[in-house]
Every structure is written in C-alpha cells, then in structure tokens.
Amino acid sequence: MESYVGLLRAVNLGGTTQIRMEELGKVVAGLGFHGVRTLLQSGNVVFRGAPASPATIEDRLEAALHSGLQFRTELFVRTASEWRGVIAANPFPEEAKRDPAHLTVAFLKTPPRPEAWSDLRNAIRGREVVRGTGRHAYIVYPDGIGRSKLTPDLIERNLETRATSRNWNTILKLDALAATT
C-alpha cells in the first residue's frame, strides 16, 4: 500500500466550489482507498491505496467528484515520499521556522518550462520571493498573502500550468497525517 496526499484546487473560498470534507472523504473511500482522512476545510485529503501514478489517481478522483457530486475542480496528488521530498527541498528553512504561515508551496500540474520561472520572478511587484523546481514553487510572502499582487492567476499565467497552494503549517500537518495513515 502507498500513502498519498491529495489537494483540491480553489475550494471552499466562497461561490460555487463548496464541498464538505466529509463528502470528499466518502468519494475517496468509494474508489477503494483506505485510511481516508481530511484536514481543514480547504480540500486536503490523505489516503492509502495500491501503487498507482499520481496522475491516474487525480483523473479518477476528479471524475468521481464530478459524477458523484456534480463538483468540478482539479486535484493535485503526491505520494507520501514525494511529499517528504517537497519538505526536504524547501529553499527557505529560516522562513519556515520564523513565519510558516507566509511560506507557501504551489503544487503544479506540470513542470513549467525553465524560462517560466524567471518570467514569474520578473512579474513580482512586491517583496515576495519565489524559488521553483519541477512541479513545486516555494513562495515567501513577507507582507502577507491577502494583500499580495502575486496572485494564483499571476502564478498560473506565468508558469503556464494550473496550481494550488498550501502554507507551510498545512504542509507539515499533512505530512504528519500521511505518516500515520
């Protein structure tokens, strides 16, 4: 059995993308996954299942959410070992200790082209700092996330891929859940 972390994109922020975590857990369990646990109300789920590619699991979960709940969103799935790799690769260890709520990781659907990282850095108009590699962008928001002009739309447009972000506190909580699932 493999442990996985799944993240729903842009849910429970208001509007039409509302889902209860209990419903999410039932959909995941209905696909035959075990030890399903959710965290917070922002679309975080940890579960176990037979080894499969994260992309395959994303497709299955997206289809099940749509058919079962008429709910459309994208999922970003990582294995527990990939998740630990995200934590280990953090280029901002001081910020993670000092201000973990203002350090985020944007989980990307596909790896951006190499030039896209500099495109994103050039688009920043504030004091935010971005470091990225593969399917992960680490972002420090020293002045807060809510007032930042480095928005999810700007990130996706410059990296030319879909994304969902979680702050460092949530990332560590999901890692702890994955370790016990």
- The pLDDT tens digits for 54-68 are 999 999 999 998 887
83, 116, 144 — which closes off a domain? 83
* Residues 74 and 109 occupy one common structural domain: no
* Residues 118 and 173 occupy one common structural domain: yes
If phi over 0 gives left and psi between -120 and 50 gives alpha, with beta otherwise, what is residue 54?
Answer: alpha
100-152 residue pLDDT tens: 999 999 999 999 999 999 999 999 999 999 999 999 999 999 999 989 999 99
* Residues 98 and 174 occupy one common structural domain: yes
Cβ contact 80:179 at 8 Å? yes
* Residues 165 and 139 occupy one common structural domain: yes
* Residues 63 and 95 occupy one common structural domain: no
Q: What's 94's domain CATH number?
A: 3.30.70
At residue 95, does pLDDT exceed 70?
yes
* Residues 113 and 51 occupy one common structural domain: no
